[in-house]
């Protein structure tokens, strides 16, 4: 599929290991090389700043989306291609969702998890068909992936929903998987089946 923009969710911290910053720079370099625009939270610090600066230095395009109340707290990036200032966190997530053709979660905290879980939920519900991937740097998301598997095992998730989540440990493989993504389809009757089994 043609991917012209990717919403990247990541930390406003660089984390405890240099490998996170290196991976952010690698992803940024590849996105710029392929002409993929970065859509992100608008910060200039942490992994957010690393990927934005890398893309800008490589001649790529960067669009930030940041709420007014976080513009100073998250140290808004004043050198990106375009900054969109919104009124709330919900509006921020909605606009990133609209502007992006796909999504990538890099290491981050509560905010990163909130953002990526929302787009995963939209995909599961059929509201969106945009690929969602995790850049599992240094096994950062191993525990979360295990939780996904546990949810599947306990029958709170369909097999197709679990395996529509793209997970790779390096930027090059993740971008290729996103471009080649073909979702596993889910028969809409699964909701009625759950009701009949009373397992919802």
Is the domain spanning 5-197 CATH 3.40.50.450? The answer is yes
| pLDDT average, residue stretch 34-59 | 96
Longest dimension (CA), the chain: 56
CB 166 within 8 A of CB 131: yes
CB 163 within 8 A of CB 184: yes
Give pLDDT, residue 199. 42
Residue 74: pLDDT band by 50, 70, 90 thresholds?
Answer: low
pLDDT tens digits, one per residue of 179-194: 999 988 876 655 555 5
| pLDDT average, residue stretch 67-81 | 83
CB 46 within 8 A of CB 13: yes
Neighbours of 122 (CB within 10 A): 16
Give pLDDT, residue 194. 53
For 2-38, b where at least 16 C-beta lie within 10 A, e where not — what string?
A: ebebbbbbbbbebbeeeebbebbbbbbbbbbeeebbb
What is the radius of gyration, based on Cα positions, of the chain? 17
- How far apart are alpha carbons 130 and 79 in whole angstroms? 28
Give me the count of residues in the chain: 200
**What's the half-sphere exposure (Cβ side, CA atoms, 13 Å) at 142?**
4
Q: 42 — alpha (psi -120 to 50), left (phi > 0) or beta?
A: left
For residue 64, the cross-strand partners are 40, 83
Give pLDDT, residue 200. 35
Helices and strands per DSSP (H, E), number in the chain: 8, 7
Per-domain boundaries in the chain: 5-197
pLDDT at 73 over 80: no
Strands 132-135 and 37-40: unpaired
| pLDDT average, residue stretch 43-69 | 95
pLDDT tens digits, one per residue of 150-164: 999 999 999 999 999
| pLDDT average, residue stretch 42-61 | 96
């Amino acid at each position: 599929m043609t991917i012209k923009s990717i919403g990247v969710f990541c930390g406003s911290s660089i984390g405890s290991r240099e490998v996170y910053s290196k991976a952010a720079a690698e992803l940024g370099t590849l996105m710029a090389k392929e002409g993929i625009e970065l859509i992100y939270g608008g910060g200039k610090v942490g992994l957010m700043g690393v990927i934005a600066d890398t893309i800008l230095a490589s001649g790529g395009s960067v669009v930030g989306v940041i709420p007014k109340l976080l513009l100073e707290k998250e140290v808004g990036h004043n050198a990106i291609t375009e900054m969109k200032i919104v009124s709330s966190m919900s509006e921020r997530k909605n606009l990133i969702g609209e502007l992006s053709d796909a999504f990538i979660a890099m290491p981050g905290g509560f905010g990163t998890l909130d953002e990526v879980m929302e787009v995963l939920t939209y995909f599961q519900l059929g509201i969106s068909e945009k690929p969602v991937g995790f850049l599992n740097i240094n096994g950062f998301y191993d525990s979360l992936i295990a939780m996904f598997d546990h949810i599947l095992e306990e029958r709170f998730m369909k097999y197709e929903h679990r395996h529509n989540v793209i997970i790779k440990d390096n930027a090059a493989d993740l971008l290729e998987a996103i471009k080649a993504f073909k979702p596993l389809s889910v028969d809409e009757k699964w909701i009625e089946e759950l009701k009949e089994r009373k397992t919802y």
